[in-house]
Amino acid sequence: MRKLVVSYARNVIRSMAGSVWFEPMLATLYPTPMCNLRCDYCHDFGAHRNAEFRGQELSFDKMARVIDMLAADCHVLYFTGGEPTLREDLVDLARRARKAGIRYLAMNTNALLLRDRADLLSELDNVVISLDSLEVGRRDSALAGRPKEIAKLLDGVRWAAAEQKARGFTLTVTAVVSPGMVADARKVRDFCFEIGAQFSAQHLNVERLPSPELHRDPEFRGFIHELIADKRAGRDVSGSELYLGGVCDLSPYRCTPTAAPHVDWMGRLAYPCRERPDHIWVDMLRAGSYRAALAEAARLHGPPPGDCHRCGARCYLEISLLVRHPGALARETIGYVARQVSRRGMRVLYP
């Protein structure tokens, strides 16, 4: 993790110096846009949209080259999508990422196919399963009408929790909190604590902005305060206190989008981020490297914004807050290491 520490230290200095350019600390890759669910809040993907994307996915060799380029500049990689497990060669891409130098590899999944991809788990440091409700699973109306499928999904989550130690990964379960569904998120949290998984809450975004209805809901604010209290009591809640506080209050912050580059299934870098309506895409394979793609993007679009805080998207917000508030990281790191040692033993410190 030396590279991550060095990049973080450089970013803190750049932030203090007023720069808008940051070293990449967490790269997010969308191996596929295909999906096997149709969550009603999902802006970009869903089974009903698969036909739109057919034929766009990069081949293994091209995707592997994109991974190599990202790994040259960043050692933390997050697979998301679409549903990443729909890509048959994902385990080979994960192995390629390791070979290319990725030190921390995570994947976000709806878990419907997780047991069929068991070999993948051993390649990952963090498996992030999305689960909004114990009753309906996800906000997908077709899934909500298939109780057997929901029971299978919950079994899959329990199974993944039980596999953590043997396969050496951490399981996080993440719930999108929607207006009127705070109680559902609370039950997901309690389920996580029961099975030994980390719990993460994401606020609902509507049209790429935090749901105003959710933020008016005192129950949501109460829940976030409960999560902060859980964290202080040593329970495994994902996200720094700064992040949770930020989600609760929607307080302004200064985003550092280049610290969290996003690359899609065609190998295109989103610039300055994936969330701004005026973002552009630059082909990394054509550019030849992450840095060349970034330079090309800046030439076309101008420098990244220095004070944007419009979306509150988790990956961007968390990193921005830690870069802007280095003191908070020390507290979070100590808490994280203590939790990992209690879960996975001292080999976390002496691998």
Ligand X SMILES: C[S@@+](CC[C@H](N)C(=O)[O-])C[C@H]1O[C@@H](n2cnc3c(N)ncnc32)[C@H](O)[C@@H]1O
Whether residue 252 is preceded by a cis peptide bond, meaning omega within 30 degrees of 0, is no
Select from 35, 90, 153, 175 the one that contacts ligand SF4 (CB under 6 A).
35
From residue 277, alpha-carbon distances to 41, 208, 271 in Å are 18, 9, 11
Cα separation, 67 vs 74, whole angstroms: 10
Select from 202, 238, 258, 320 the one that contacts ligand X (CB under 6 A).
202
110 makes contact with ligand SF4 (CB under 6 A): yes
CB of 270 to ligand SF4, least distance (A): 9
174 makes contact with ligand X (CB under 6 A): yes
Question: For residues 50 and 35, is the Cβ–Cβ distance under 8 A?
Answer: yes
Cα separation, 185 vs 190, whole angstroms: 9
How many DSSP H helices and E strands does the chain contain? 15, 11
Stated length of the chain: 351
Select from 255, 269, 284, 294 the one that contacts ligand SF4 (CB under 6 A).
255
Question: For residues 242 and 259, is the Cβ–Cβ distance under 8 A?
Answer: no
* Residue 140, burial from CB neighbour count under 10 angstroms (0-12, 13-18, 19+): buried
For residues 29 and 293, which CB has a smaller minimum distance to ligand X in the complex?
29
Tokens of 127: 């498996």
Stretch of 11-19, 55-63, 272-280, 290-298 contacting ligand SF4, by CB under 6 A: 272-280
323 makes contact with ligand SF4 (CB under 6 A): no
| Per-residue contact string for residues 124-143; x = within reach of ligand X by CB under 6 A | ------x-------------
| Per-residue contact string for residues 35-54; x = within reach of ligand X by CB under 6 A | x-----xxx-x---------
Which among ligand X, ligand SF4, none contacts residue 257 (Cβ within 5 to 8 A by kind)? Answer: ligand SF4
Select from 133, 205, 240, 258 the one that contacts ligand X (CB under 6 A).
205
161 makes contact with ligand SF4 (CB under 6 A): no
Stretch of 32-40, 142-150, 166-174, 219-227 contacting ligand SF4, by CB under 6 A: 32-40
33 makes contact with ligand X (CB under 6 A): no
For residues 107 and 297, which CB has a smaller minimum distance to ligand X in the complex?
107
Cβ atoms within 10 A of the Cβ of 309, count? 16
49 makes contact with ligand SF4 (CB under 6 A): no
* Residue 190, burial from CB neighbour count under 10 angstroms (0-12, 13-18, 19+): exposed
85 makes contact with ligand X (CB under 6 A): no
109 makes contact with ligand X (CB under 6 A): yes
Cα separation, 27 vs 133, whole angstroms: 28
